[in-house]
């Protein structure tokens, strides 16, 4: 069962400083992975030749060059769907695991065969998306009601969000794939005040239309997990929504956008 790390945001003073409160039942790194974790004994389960193996924080994990990886780094690599774990010795788990790179064909097959990511508790598929009106970094106003007839891809994020940082290059790639299509609009509502976002974007380009000062709007929408992704159809209804990012998320975002464009 996919576990999600929920990052609650709280505006704690007039300068809009943001306090991160990490609240979860089971602690994982910051990625959604199909695995079993426990706050007292974190572990990741793999199956090899019909047998289950448990990878824990004390497991020895290395790639074919001999480079070793800690537990959190392995979870990061697995979330990309570019790697898999295999036991070094199927008879003796103490010998550890190999971190093996998948072929492009196998990676594509696994991503495309994966189910849709878990939905958020905030939105309902098929229901009307609440009106969102906000200004971008240049003062241009975006109003989702006035964007009817277009596919709207929305990201809720903030600058100190580690999963948000992880997903950004992948989101930029998706934006690039639709940059010639004026009927697909990408909006990223940042919780941070505009000056913070300006400085952040100097080193961290984000190709969505960035809507800063979004803390109050995020509260209005009752967003509790970051990053949150929402895709709205041409009629203004929620077609896709999830929290977090893996390669599977990107696949389903593209699939949803293409489906909605064709309607």
Kindly write down the DSSP assignment for every residue of 217-247, as one continuous string. Answer: HHHHHT--SSSEEEEE-TTSBEEEEEES--H
Q: Does any domain span residue 127?
A: no
Quick one: 184 and 68 in the same domain?
no
Mean pLDDT of 40-45: 60
Quick one: 87 and 169 in the same domain?
no
Quick one: 146 and 212 in the same domain?
yes
Residue 50: CB atoms within 10 A of its CB come to 5
Per-residue pLDDT tens over the stretch 186-245: 999 999 999 999 999 999 999 999 999 999 999 999 998 999 999 999 999 999 999 998
Per-residue pLDDT tens over the stretch 213-228: 999 999 999 998 999 9
pLDDT at 22 over 70: no
Residue 15 binned pLDDT confidence (cut-offs 50, 70, 90): very low
Quick one: 82 and 137 in the same domain?
no
Q: Does any domain span residue 118?
A: no
Last residue of a domain, one of 112, 141, 172: 112
pLDDT at 42: 60
Quick one: 87 and 176 in the same domain?
no
Number of domains comprising the chain: 2
Q: Does any domain span residue 156?
A: yes
Please answer whether residues 164 and 210 qualify as being in contact, where contact means their C-beta atoms are separated by less than 8 angstroms. no
pLDDT at 138: 96
pTM of the model as a whole: 0.75
Q: Does any domain span residue 56?
A: yes
pLDDT at 17 over 90: no
Alpha-carbon torsion, ordered 223, 263, 259, 180, to 10 deg: -90
pLDDT at 41: 40
pLDDT at 152 over 50: yes
Last residue of a domain, one of 112, 143, 172: 112
Helices (H), 122-188: 162-177
Lowest-confidence pick of 7-21, 129-143, 158-172, 246-260: 7-21
Residue 254 burial (C-beta neighbours within 10 Å; 0-12, 13-18, 19+) = middle
Please answer whether residues 165 and 31 qualify as being in contact, where contact means their C-beta atoms are separated by less than 8 angstroms. no
Please answer whether residues 126 and 257 qualify as being in contact, where contact means their C-beta atoms are separated by less than 8 angstroms. no
Quick one: 91 and 179 in the same domain?
no
The CATH number of residue 245's host domain is 3.40.30.10
* 3-class secondary structure, 199: helix
Nearest CA-CA partner of 42 in 5, 92, 84, 83: 5
Q: Does any domain span residue 20?
A: no
pLDDT at 140: 97
Quick one: 258 and 137 in the same domain?
yes
Quick one: 149 and 216 in the same domain?
yes
Mean pLDDT of 25-50: 50
d(CA 173, CA 70): 28
Q: Return the percentage of the chain with pLDDT > 90, whole number.
A: 65
Residue 76 binned pLDDT confidence (cut-offs 50, 70, 90): confident
Q: Does any domain span residue 49?
A: yes
Quick one: 107 and 146 in the same domain?
no
Quick one: 219 and 257 in the same domain?
yes
pLDDT at 137: 97
Quick one: 101 and 140 in the same domain?
no
pLDDT at 35 over 70: no
Lowest-confidence pick of 23-37, 69-83, 137-151, 185-199: 23-37
Quick one: 95 and 214 in the same domain?
no
Mean of pLDDT over the chain: 84
Q: Does any domain span residue 23?
A: no
Q: Which residues contact 114 (CB under 8 A, 6 or more apart)?
A: 248, 251
The domain in which residue 62 lies consists of 43-112
Alpha-carbon torsion, ordered 236, 182, 221, 2, to 10 deg: 100
Question: Which range among 15-19, 102-106, 183-187 has the greatest average pLDDT?
Answer: 183-187
Lowest-confidence pick of 40-54, 138-152, 183-197: 40-54
Please answer whether residues 33 and 26 qualify as being in contact, where contact means their C-beta atoms are separated by less than 8 angstroms. no
Q: Does any domain span residue 125?
A: no
d(CA 258, CA 242): 18
């Amino acid at each position: 069962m996919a576990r999600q790390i929920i990052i609650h945001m709280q505006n704690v003073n007039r300068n809009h400083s943001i306090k991160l409160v990490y609240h979860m039942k089971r602690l994982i790194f910051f990625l959604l992975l199909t695995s079993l974790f426990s706050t007292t004994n974190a572990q990741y389960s793999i199956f090899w030749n019909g047998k289950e193996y448990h990878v824990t924080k004390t497991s020895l994990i290395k790639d074919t060059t001999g480079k070793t990886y800690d537990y959190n780094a392995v979870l990061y690599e697995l979330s990309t769907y570019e790697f898999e774990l295999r036991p070094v010795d199927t008879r003796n788990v103490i010998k550890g695991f190999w971190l093996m790179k998948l072929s492009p064909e196998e990676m594509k097959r696994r991503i495309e065969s994966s189910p849709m990511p878990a939905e958020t508790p905030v939105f309902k598929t098929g229901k009307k998306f609440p009106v969102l009106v906000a200004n971008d970094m240049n003062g241009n106003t975006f109003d989702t009601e006035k964007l009817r007839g277009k596919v709207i891809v929305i990201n809720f994020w903030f600058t100190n969000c580690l999963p948000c940082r992880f997903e950004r290059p992948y989101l930029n790639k998706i934006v690039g794939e639709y940059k010639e299509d004026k009927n697909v609009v990408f909006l990223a509502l940042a919780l941070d005040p505009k000056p913070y976002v300006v400085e952040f974007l100097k080193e961290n380009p984000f190709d969505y239309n960035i809507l800063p000062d979004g803390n109050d709007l995020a509260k209005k929408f009752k967003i509790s997990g970051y990053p949150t992704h929402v895709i709205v159809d041409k009629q203004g209804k929620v077609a896709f929504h999830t929290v977090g990012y893996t390669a599977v998320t990107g696949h389903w975002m593209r699939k949803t956008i293409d489906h909605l464009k064709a309607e």
